């Protein structure tokens, strides 16, 4: 892996009044995917392992893949010839495990949040995948609305590795009202942000299906084991 400072990717194309530079000619490349998650730090477990395996698979199949994660400072790291990890400077999580950092919405919703905006316009991904239900998911709303100039609207995919109601019960409150609030947020705010959802199990997908039951237009959802070499998927709804 080769790590480079943020100046490497902030160089010569004008984006929202800022200057950025593209390193590759996207028109000559296969479909490019860009993945974002806050569930990543140097010693984190399952989700980090999954994305590192996905980067290995991208290099094996010669498909360009970009991963955006929080870090102590802005920097970029090449992973083989086809993979790259962008680290966005972000503060530690104020609660729970402070080893994790959080890329907050001002990094992409405000015009001066040029770091992530530059990355998106440099890379020009055809597919953007988000594994986060609380902060990064709002990026897909900005992409839907065309708020990031210079970036054609990509396909938007949400990756769901846990049920929100389980997280609320574990970290916030076990009261039934808390579960109902989680279901309301999931159905009215989170699920409709995406074109498609991937769930790691039928158990996780059932919570997403509640959005459809509430007669809210929602995308399709497929179940797949959490791993880059998974060969079987099943349609959930």
- Which pLDDT does position 25 carry in this prediction? 47
Instruction: For domain 1-158, say whether CATH 1.10.3470 is its number.
Output: no
Higher pLDDT, 11 or 236: 236
Say yes or no to pLDDT of 180 above 70: yes
* Contact of 76 with 85, CB cutoff 8 Å: yes
Say yes or no to pLDDT of 34 above 60: yes
Q: How confident is the model at residue 71 (pLDDT cuts 50, 70, 90)?
A: very high
Query: What is the arithmetic mean of pLDDT over 156-178?
Result: 78
Q: Residue 85 and residue 66: Cα distance in Å, rounded?
A: 6
Say yes or no to pLDDT of 2 above 90: no
- Which pLDDT does position 217 carry in this prediction? 55
What does the pLDDT look like over 16-30, one tens digit per residue?
444 444 444 444 457
* Contact of 107 with 113, CB cutoff 8 Å: yes
Task: Indicate the Cα dihedral angle 149, 64, 116, 155, nearest 10°.
Answer: 50
Say yes or no to pLDDT of 61 above 90: yes
- Which pLDDT does position 206 carry in this prediction? 82
Higher pLDDT, 213 or 12: 213
Q: What sections of the chain are H helices per DSSP?
A: 46-61, 106-109, 114-123, 138-145, 164-171, 176-185, 202-213
**pTM of the shown model:** 0.81
- Which pLDDT does position 157 carry in this prediction? 95
* Cβ neighbour number for residue 121 with a 10 Å cutoff: 20
Locate the domains of the chain by residue range.
1-158, 162-237
Beta-bridged to residue 157, according to DSSP, are: 129, 196
What does the pLDDT look like over 38-51, one tens digit per residue?
988 877 778 889 99
Q: How confident is the model at residue 129 (pLDDT cuts 50, 70, 90)?
A: very high
- Where is mean pLDDT largest: 7-11, 108-112, 130-134, 213-217? 130-134
- Which pLDDT does position 108 carry in this prediction? 86
Collapse the DSSP code of 37 into the 3-class scheme (helix H, G, I; strand E, B; otherwise coil) and give the result: strand
- Which pLDDT does position 137 carry in this prediction? 94
CB-count exposure of residue 83 (10 Å: 0-12, 13-18, 19+): buried
């Amino acid at each position: 892996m080769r790590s480079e400072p943020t100046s490497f990717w902030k160089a010569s194309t004008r984006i929202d009044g800022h200057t950025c530079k593209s390193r590759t000619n996207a028109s000559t490349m296969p479909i490019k995917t860009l993945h974002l998650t806050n569930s990543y730090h140097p010693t984190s477990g399952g989700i980090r392992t999954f994305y590192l395996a996905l980067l290995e698979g991208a290099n094996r199949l010669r498909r360009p893949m970009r991963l955006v994660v929080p870090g102590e400072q802005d920097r970029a790291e090449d992973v083989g010839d086809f993979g790259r990890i962008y680290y966005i400077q972000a503060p530690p999580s104020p609660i729970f495990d402070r080893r994790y950092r959080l890329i907050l919405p001002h990094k992409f919703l405000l015009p001066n949040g040029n770091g992530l905006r530059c990355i998106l316009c440099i890379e020009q991904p055809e597919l953007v995948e988000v594994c986060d239900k609380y902060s990064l998911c709002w990026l897909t709303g900005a992409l839907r609305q065309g708020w990031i100039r210079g970036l054609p609207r990509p396909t938007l995919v949400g990756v769901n590795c846990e049920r929100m109601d389980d997280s609320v019960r574990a970290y916030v409150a076990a009261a039934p009202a808390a579960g109902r609030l989680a279901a309301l947020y999931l159905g009215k705010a989170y699920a409709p942000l995406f074109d498609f959802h991937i769930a790691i199990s039928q158990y996780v997908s059932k919570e997403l299906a509640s959005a459809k039951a509430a007669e809210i237009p929602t995308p399709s959802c497929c179940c797949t084991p959490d791993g880059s070499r998974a060969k079987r998927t099943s349609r959930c709804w």
